Structure 1
Amino acid sequence: MRHPYGKGSKAERELLKKFWENKVAAIRVAGSGRATTPACDIIAGKNKRIAVFECKATKKNSIYLEEDELHKLDTLARVMGCRAFIACRFSRDEWFFVPLGKAEEVKKIRREDCKKSWALSFPKLLEYFYK
């Protein structure tokens, strides 16, 4: 039987590798989904620019965001003084990133949202770290 968190952790490791391939340091926070204190899935940084990420990967066409999960990510980002994103990957599509403020507003991310002006592609996200 496959571990219930296997797909999520595999996606997190894939994103972690992408950050390192682009010379952005990143670490994965194991067990973040079960944490009782504010936590995230990935912390990434370069040139004193830090961002925290909650990662979502699915075969479906929508990702539903839980209020508590968003609140914990917001709290973590505020305490750390950094930006926060929901990292989204739909099967056979590229990663895209939703700023936390927009995620709190929409509460549901659809596959086609990657084309919206507020969604960041991976190359666009890298610009934040290289400013």
Structure 2
Amino acid sequence: MWRYGKGSRAERELLNKFKQHGFIVVRAAGSGFEGPDIIAIKGGKEYAIECKAQEAGTLSIGKEQFENLVKWQENSLMQVYVAWKKSHLGWFFIPLSAFEKKKVNYGIKFEKAVAVAYKLEDLLFA
């Protein structure tokens, strides 16, 4: 149960960061399978964000959830990012195309995520 609290806190933290910079932000209740956790919009910038707060060296997303995010991106024409929060390092916004398909999920190693990800400031001030 504590994992969900950590994830919810991370989502609210990110939501507030976007709000503080003038974005209209919506957090999806009960998110996890049908679409992204957060949608942020401002002046033509549109981001759909799936939040993950994990300390592991690899981030994995279940196959069904990941494929639903891909469908959501295709149907909405909004860029979907997986926002990976690492303690003391901040947020890394990873495009779906950077994930590798595995047998039962999709994953990305932290080293690759760092190389391909955008930082929060990149999205706020783009």
Q: Aligning the two structures, in what range does the TM-score lie when normalised by the shorter sequence?
A: 0.7 to 0.9
TM-score, normalised with respect to structure 2:
0.84
TM-score by length of 1: 0.81
Three-state SS of the structure 2 residue aligned to 1:115 is helix
The answer as to whether partners of 2:100 and 2:108 remain within 8 angstroms in 1 is: no
Give the drift of 1:65.
Answer: 2.0
Following TM superposition, where does structure 1 have runs of at least 4 consecutive aligned residues deviating by more than 4 angstroms? none
Segments of structure 1 that go 5 or more residues without pairing to the other structure are none
- Where does residue 47 of structure 2 map in the other structure? 51
Percent identity, aligned pairs only, is 33
**Contact 1:42 1:52 (8 Å CA) reproduced:** yes
Question: Match for residue 9 of structure 1?
Answer: 8
Q: How does 1:17-32 map to 2 (within 5 A)?
A: 17-32=16-31
Q: Cα RMSD (Å) of the superposition?
A: 2.1
Give unpaired runs (5+ residues) of structure 2: none
Q: Tell me whether 1:94 sits opposite 2:90 in the alignment.
A: yes
Corresponding residue for residue 75 of structure 2? 79
The structure carrying a bigger strand percent of its residues is 2
**1:69 corresponds to which letter in structure 2?**
Q
Amino acid at match of 2:29: A
Q: Provide the aligned length of Structure 1 versus Structure 2.
A: 123
